[in-house]
Structure 1
Amino acid sequence: MCYSRDGGSTNIGLGMIRIHILEGKAFVWNYADVRKMREEYRIVGKLVGALARKPRQNVRLGLPLQLLPEEARLLVEKGLAILFKNPASQPLGDDPSQDPSALEEMTAYQKGLEENYQEQVQLTAEQRKTVLGSLAERIAQGRAKKQQQKEEEGDPSLKPVDLESSFVLPRQSMMVQLPTERIHPGAEEEVDWQVQSQDWPYAGQSDHEIRYSIFRNLWERGYYVTSGSKFGGDFLVYPGDPMRFHAHYIALCVSKDVPLSLGDLVSAGRLGTNVKKTVLLCSVDQDGTAVYTSLQWSGMQ
């Protein structure tokens, strides 16, 4: 079954994972899709979004989930996902042809913000009054001390200040709700992963084809496969969910037509030994068969 937001026909099927493409990168924003990919399809990805309550740290991140090109392509080839992009949007203006419903929603949104602000002003004032009541004795003592100092210096007496009436809640200090999903995403265009473009530059690239063939083969063998950049490889290969297992292999994808120097082999072997993992040299035959060669640094006996 297919649907379209503007009434036309599209290839976006109901229930399919929606992968948003932006400048050649693949993102998934829906948490249900993220969970489904991990639990049912063994696609892990990497969270890259800041948490609303802890924005100034990068230890724990949230949505969106960024996918490797190989992860996104696998989901699309298996008929589990769709690649799409949002065309450049135009800012709302005074165009009389503007959608009336959108203008009404904007007016309602602004009205809601104002009501929210007035409610916060009232609640903050009540909270401030409570705090001042609990500190009334201390405030009185401070005022008396300042009054005595002024009298000793010959200055006129202090004028009483009404702390409650002087309170103002700046609008920039009000709490606002940050929406995590757009009610009206607007126009959408499907991205063809088989055609090289600015949105999807990987089509036809030899390096990508080798990496994808290896990724798909390891995935079909039942492994969890993630990015291996932090260990100097192309992929990390896990026997189960990375939340429960350490990676067993570091996969390095190489072309059979490109020779490897002895130094590169030694470096790869020592790398795997230092992090207690086996290095896999992965290549693809002309018939598309994946070929693996394991490296383990044993040293001198």
Structure 2
Amino acid sequence: MIRIYLLEGKAFVWNYADVWRIREEHRIVGVLVGALPRKPRQNVRLGLPLELLPEEARLLLEKGLAILVKSPTSQSLDDGKSQDPLLPGKVAAYEMELEENYQEQLRLSAKQRKAVLDSLADRIAQGRAKKWQRKGEGGDPLVQPAESGSGFVLPQESMMIQLPTERSEITQEEEVDWHVAAQLWPYAGQEHHEMRYCIFRDLWERGYYVTTGSKFGGDFLIYPGDPMRFHAHYIALCFPKEVPISLRDIISAGRLGTNVKKTVLLCSVDQDGTVAYTSLRWSGMQ
């Protein structure tokens, strides 16, 4: 079961296997929002967690593919009474594990270095012979064997450290009822959310990949296949059925779609739940 974690009204998936599953099996894309450990100051390529739209999370919940949970509130470590009595032992075990990992990486690095030196032994010998000849010294050069690598030292700050993306220990997590509006999940029953979800679900059931359309000024972007392989064909704008759309908004939407080479879809939901679509394409003056 996919676990979706709530934080301040937003839904996140932390497990990489769940992220792969919801994309490959269920056509849910989401947005990666986590900084990469080795490049934390850039925002071009991001990593876990995966943030889901409320509509994406609800679709998984409605299909019975996921559950909505919230983590228990962490206790303050400033209060000595609230500290885990087993904390010193856990810290010692963690430090011991780090030392074992360091020794293992040191051994493997020395072994790899020795293999590289052994493969270059002939070239090293030839280089020493040429250097000996340039000095004009007679006789055969003293050919020393390649270093064994036993004296190799790996700086401890250069060792690789595993960074877990979810809790390493089992903790009690409280399941959240997504049918009821709450502080962490305020969307249940909201008219605007219900309209957006009906449109999102209808597009998803038609076989499209649907992502957020905020970067193009729309509600959703609609792809014929995985966004890693295809460009979006449509920009979806969601409007209530009974609310009139101003002519200025229609012209703006049409010109926007033309500038980014996409068709604009004006989407609305009837009282019976049927989704109606109207496409806009700017033809210009002929």
Structure 2 counterpart of 1:133: none
| Equivalent position amino acid for 1:87 in 2 | P
8 Å Cα contact 1:120-1:174 kept in structure 2: no
Is residue 2:209 matched to residue 1:260? Answer: no
Q: Percent identity among equivalent residues?
A: 73
Give, as a single letter, the amino acid of the residue that structure 2 aligns with 1:45.
G
Pairing 1:180–2:165 present: yes
Q: Deviations over 1:6-28 (max 9, x none)?
A: xxxxxxxxxx1111110010111
Residue 190 of structure 2 aligns with which residue?
Answer: 205
Q: Tell me, which stretches of 5 or more residues in structure 1 are unaligned?
A: 1-15, 122-168
Give the aligned CA root-mean-square deviation in angstroms: 2.7
Question: Residues 48 and 165 of structure 2 are in contact (CA less than 8 Å); yes or no, is this contact kept in structure 1?
Answer: no
Distance 2:262 2:237 in 1: 13
- 1:280 equivalent in alignment to 2:258: no
**Residue of structure 2 in register with 1:250 after alignment:** 235
Q: Bigger CA drift: 191-200 or 276-285?
A: 191-200
Q: Which runs of 5+ in 2 are unaligned?
A: 107-154
- Alignment partners' CA distance in 2, 1:256 and 1:181: 43
TM superposition shift of 1:42:
0.2
Q: CA, structure 1 residues 176+99, in 2 after alignment: closer, same or farther (shift >3 Å)?
A: farther
Partner of residue 215 from structure 2, selected from 230, 233, 237: 230
Deviations 1:90-132 (A, max 9, x none): 13564499464x55323312444577789999xxxxxxxxxxx
* Distance in structure 2 (CA, Å) of the matches to 1:118 and 1:288: 63
Residue type at the aligned position of 2:92: T
Q: How many equivalent residue pairs? A: 240
Query: 2: distance between equivalents of 1:63 and 1:85?
Result: 17
The structure-2 alpha-carbon separation of the partners of 1:110 and 1:17, relative to structure 1 and needing over 3 Å to count, comes to: same
After TM superposition, the score normalised by the length of structure 1 is: 0.72
Q: TM-score, normalised by structure 2?
A: 0.76
Deviation of the 1:60 alpha carbon: 0.7
Shift in alpha-carbon separation, 1:99–1:217, aligned structure 2, 3 A = farther
What is aligned with 2:31?
46
> CA shift at 1:181, angstroms?
3.0
Alpha-carbon shift at residue 87 of structure 1 (Å): 2.3
1:194 matches 2:172: no
